[in-house]
Amino acid sequence: MTDLPEATPAQIAALKLQVPDIANHINDFQISTLAANMTFELAPSVTVGFHLNELVQDGQVTEENLVAVVRAIRISLLGPSMAAQIDGAIGAQGYAVKSVFAGDDSPSFAYSVGLTGTVGFELISMAGMDHQLNAYMVSEYAELAKAGEVIEDERSDLVELSSLPGHGLRTKCVPVNASAAMETHICEVRGEVERVYQILVADKHNLFPDEEGYEQAFLQPCLPAPENPATH
C-alpha cells in the first residue's frame, strides 16, 4: 500500500454534514482522508468520528486541529509501508533520506536514516524552505561519507550559486548534539545513533549563519554542539 483509499462521495457528504464549513479549513485530499476513516481509533474507544463531534461541540474546528487528525491517521496507517520503503533504501544504498515539509514558522528539513550502520553517523540539513535542497544535500554528503571524504571540510562544488556566477555554493558539516537532534528532528532511526552532523548551507550571498551579513530570512536553525566534542 502506497497511499490511503479515497472516500466515496457519500462518505464525504456525511462528513460535511457532521462538520459544517470543514471545506473552509482543509483541502479535498485531507477531507477524503477523514471521510474514509471515520471509524479509525485515535485512542481506545475514541474514533475519528467521535473526536470530530467533540471538536464541533467544543467550537474547536480549526485547521490545526483537523490537520492533526489527518496526520495521526496517515502516520498510523502508512507507517508499515513507509518503514519498508526506508529499509529497502538502506539495504540498497546504505542509507535512506527522509524529508519533512515546512511548517508555518519552521523550515523544511531532511535527514538520513540508517547511515550510522554504514559510516557511523547521521546527517541533517535544515536550509531555508526548500525540502528538495535539503534532501539533495543529505544524499550528496552521505555519498561523500561513503567514499571516505572528510565531510567537515568546507566545499563549494555541490551547487552552482546563481546569484554569484562562477561561484559554487559553500557548504560544510558540523557535529551537533545527537540527543537534541533526535528529540526535535530525527524521529526515524535504525540502531543506536551517537553521532549527528548538520549540513550548513550558505545563503544567496554565500554566507554561513555565523557570518556577518547572513540573510536572516533564509531560515536555518542551528542545532546545539555536542556535549563532548572529543567523540567526533
* 193 occurs within a structural domain: yes
Shortest CA distance to 171 belongs to which of 229, 222, 125? 125
Same domain for 111 and 152, yes or no, is yes
Same domain for 98 and 74, yes or no, is no
pTM for this entry: 0.67
Shortest CA distance to 125 belongs to which of 227, 232, 220? 220
Query: How remote is the C-alpha of 106 from its chain's centroid?
Result: 11
DSSP code of 201? E
Same domain for 120 and 73, yes or no, is no
Same domain for 72 and 98, yes or no, is no
* 159 occurs within a structural domain: yes
Query: How remote is the C-alpha of 71 from its chain's centroid?
Result: 13
Task: State the distance between the two ends of the chain, measured CA to CA, in whole angstroms.
Answer: 40
pLDDT greater than 60 at residue 232: no
Shortest CA distance to 99 belongs to which of 116, 89, 192, 66? 89
Same domain for 126 and 58, yes or no, is no
Which stretches of the chain are assigned E, i.e. beta strand?
Answer: 41-43, 46-47, 96-100, 109-113, 122-125, 171-176, 196-201
* 134 occurs within a structural domain: yes
pLDDT in tens, 127-173: 887 788 999 999 999 999 999 999 999 999 998 877 777 789 999 99
pLDDT greater than 60 at residue 231: no
Distance of alpha carbon 145 from alpha carbon 123, whole angstroms? 10
pLDDT in tens, 166-192: 789 999 999 999 999 999 899 889 999
DSSP code of 58? T
User: What pLDDT shows up at residue 173?
Assistant: 97
Distance of alpha carbon 69 from alpha carbon 36, whole angstroms? 13
* 85 occurs within a structural domain: no
User: What pLDDT shows up at residue 103?
Assistant: 66
pLDDT in tens, 71-129: 888 877 766 667 788 888 899 999 999 988 776 667 889 999 999 999 999 999 998 87
In terms of phi and psi (left: phi > 0; alpha: psi -120 to 50; beta: otherwise), the region of 10 is alpha
Shortest CA distance to 203 belongs to which of 65, 107, 111? 107
pLDDT greater than 80 at residue 205: yes
Same domain for 118 and 227, yes or no, is yes
Distance of alpha carbon 156 from alpha carbon 170, whole angstroms? 4
Domain of residue 67, residue span: 9-79
Q: Which of 55, 79, 103 is the last residue of a domain?
A: 79
User: What pLDDT shows up at residue 82?
Assistant: 73
Distance of alpha carbon 101 from alpha carbon 122, whole angstroms? 19
**Structural contact between residues 218 and 203, judged by C-beta atoms closer than 8 angstroms:** yes
Q: Give the total number of structural domains in the chain.
A: 2
Distance of alpha carbon 94 from alpha carbon 119, whole angstroms? 9
Name residue 56's amino acid.
V
Same domain for 34 and 115, yes or no, is no
Same domain for 55 and 107, yes or no, is no
